[in-house]
């Protein structure tokens, strides 16, 4: 008898997955290893930045009061008394009519309160002239204008990217407390599968899902163990799933989640005592995506069809992994776009179409990336976003406003909005 499954909405499925994520603790690592990790502590300014008044330009440090009255008809002269390079400090302050030649980033000398940029001067012997007055603080970079000592600059739960690294280095964080990364398990099921290096034979296909999932995890910086391919044999599948669960923090299986006679994942979950959170989602592709939980470990049963597998990972697995690591912005960024082509298929379920978005003279335009059935592979390679077409319509036409989710974005958003 074919199992009857009741689909749930995507937002509900996302909520259920996120409610069953359990953090793995924290660890302290060297700064050079922190890229891609999630902060377990806030970044707090240990000192002012800048830590002294400095020049943002190459030019001359002057007293603004000495520039009063300068004009094209009344050029005012200054005597250069020295030069201050970045990392150096002036021997003394400046007096009336004096100036220091100063380089970008150098500390401003005492008594100076304005910087005259090089292009605002005319050179003369032993100095220069100006043709405009300067206000106190003009072209100045003040102590603490970027960050004040004690200020919380980045909250815990933030993904570390190159800009974060720069901030950590600025404040002397040679070591960083981050969330522990989970180790994923990957298992591809299906008697029809061949290894990537195998020659095709009738009725068989090469395993693309395993390498694809591995690449999606690598893009996130998540280590994994591959358990290869397993034919549709219940006892053997159960044994390898049980082994993988014991050795990893969460497991991703591909295939075996439909309702056919050879789809064993539901039976395996039952044998192991796993609680199924859902086994059908009101979405295309990937409606048979199944997620279960065993103890504190999530089991992601993704479709054997490549496009459905890819989409299931991005919608459910990716945010869950970031949540496990304490990430506070785990979801794909969202934008509005104009639909670039007709998509006339009726939508009983919400569709997530592999698409390409680009900026045009008319704004952001997104168009399907090609062949878009759930077993498609080519459109995954071409796409840079998921085009979201809600259910309950008889199709969409070119020029309509649509939602898109950005694939591969380094930084995510805090809320699921669709």
Q: Report the pLDDT value the prediction gives residue 258, as an integer from 0 to 100.
A: 73
Query: In the prediction, which pLDDT does 261 show?
Result: 53
Range with the lowest mean pLDDT among 31-40, 193-202, 220-229? 193-202
Confidence at residue 262, expressed as pLDDT on a 0 to 100 scale: 58
pLDDT digits (tens, 9 = 90+) for 45-73: 999 999 999 999 999 999 999 999 999 99
Tens digits of per-residue pLDDT, 372-408? 665 668 889 999 999 999 988 778 999 999 999 999 9
Q: Which residues on neighbouring strands pair with residue 107, listed in sequence order?
A: 54
User: Do residues 346 and 394 touch, judged by C-beta distance below 8 A?
Assistant: yes
pLDDT tens by residue, 118-164? 999 999 999 999 999 999 999 999 999 999 999 999 999 999 999 99
E strands present in 34-75: 43-44, 59-62
Cα separation of the two ends of the chain: 35
pTM (2 d.p.): 0.89
Residue 47 and residue 136: Cα distance in Å, rounded? 25
* pLDDT tens by residue, 229-260: 998 889 999 999 999 999 999 999 998 887 66
Whole-angstrom Cα distance, residue 191 to residue 230? 7
Q: What average pLDDT does this structure show over 347-371?
A: 92
Examine the pLDDT at 198 and tell me if it is beyond 50: yes
Per-residue pLDDT band at 1 (split at 50, 70, 90): very low
pLDDT > 90 fraction of the chain, expressed in percent and rounded: 86
Give the rounded percent of residues in the chain with a pLDDT score beyond 70: 97
Give how far the C-alpha of residue 242 lies from the chain's centroid of Cα atoms, to the nearest Å: 32
- Give the HSE-up count for residue 103: Cα atoms under 13 Å, Cβ half-sphere: 9
Rg of the chain on CA atoms, in Å: 30
Considering the chain, what is the average pLDDT of its residues?
Answer: 94
Residue owning tokens 């890229």: 35
Q: Tell me the C-alpha distance between 292 and 309, whole Å.
A: 16
Q: How far is residue 299's CA from residue 238's CA, in Å, rounded to a whole number?
A: 13
> What tokens appear for 353 in the block?
């179409």
């Amino acid at each position: 008898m074919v199992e009857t499954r009741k689909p749930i909405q995507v937002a509900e499925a996302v909520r259920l997955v996120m409610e069953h994520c359990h953090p793995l603790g924290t660890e302290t690592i060297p700064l050079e290893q922190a890229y891609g990790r999630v902060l377990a502590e806030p970044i707090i300014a240990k000192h002012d930045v800048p830590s002294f008044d400095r020049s943002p330009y190459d030019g001359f440090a002057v007293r603004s009061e000495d520039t009063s009255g300068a004009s094209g008809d009344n050029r005012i002269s200054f005597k250069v008394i020295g030069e201050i390079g970045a990392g150096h400090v002036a021997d003394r302050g400046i007096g009336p009519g004096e100036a220091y030649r100063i380089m970008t980033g150098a500390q401003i000398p005492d008594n100076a309160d304005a910087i005259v940029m090089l292009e605002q001067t005319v050179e003369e012997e032993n100095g220069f002239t100006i043709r405009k007055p300067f206000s106190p603080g003009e072209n100045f970079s003040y102590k603490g204008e970027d960050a004040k000592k004690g200020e919380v600059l980045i909250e815990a739960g933030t993904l570390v990217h190159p800009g974060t690294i720069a901030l950590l280095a600025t404040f002397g964080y040679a070591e960083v407390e981050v969330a522990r990364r989970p180790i994923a398990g990957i298992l591809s099921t299906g008697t029809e599968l061949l290894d990537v290096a195998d020659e095709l034979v009738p009725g068989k296909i090469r395993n693309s899902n395993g390498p694809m999932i591995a690449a999606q995890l690598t893009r996130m910086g998540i280590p994994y163990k591959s358990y290869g391919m397993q034919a549709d044999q219940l006892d053997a599948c159960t044994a390898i799933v049980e082994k993988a669960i014991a050795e990893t923090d969460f497991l991703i299986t591909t295939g075996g989640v439909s309702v056919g006679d050879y789809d064993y994942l539901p039976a395996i979950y039952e044998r192991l005592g796993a609680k199924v959170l859902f086994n059908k989602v009101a979405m295309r592709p990937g409606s048979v995506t199944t997620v279960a939980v065993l103890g504190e470990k999530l089991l992601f049963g993704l479709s054997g069809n490549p496009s459905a597998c890819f989409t299931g990972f991005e919608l459910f697995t990716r945010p869950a992994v970031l949540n496990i690591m304490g990430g506070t912005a785990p979801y794909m960024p969202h934008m509005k776009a104009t639909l670039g082509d007709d998509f006339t298929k009726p939508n009983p379920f919400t569709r997530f179409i592999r698409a390409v978005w680009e900026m045009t003279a008319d704004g952001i335009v997104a168009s399907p990336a090609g062949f878009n059935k759930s077993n498609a592979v080519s459109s995954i390679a071409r796409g840079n976003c998921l085009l979201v077409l809600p259910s309950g319509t008889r199709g969409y036409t070119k020029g309509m406003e649509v939602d898109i989710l950005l694939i591969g974005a380094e930084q995510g958003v805090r809320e699921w909005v669709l």
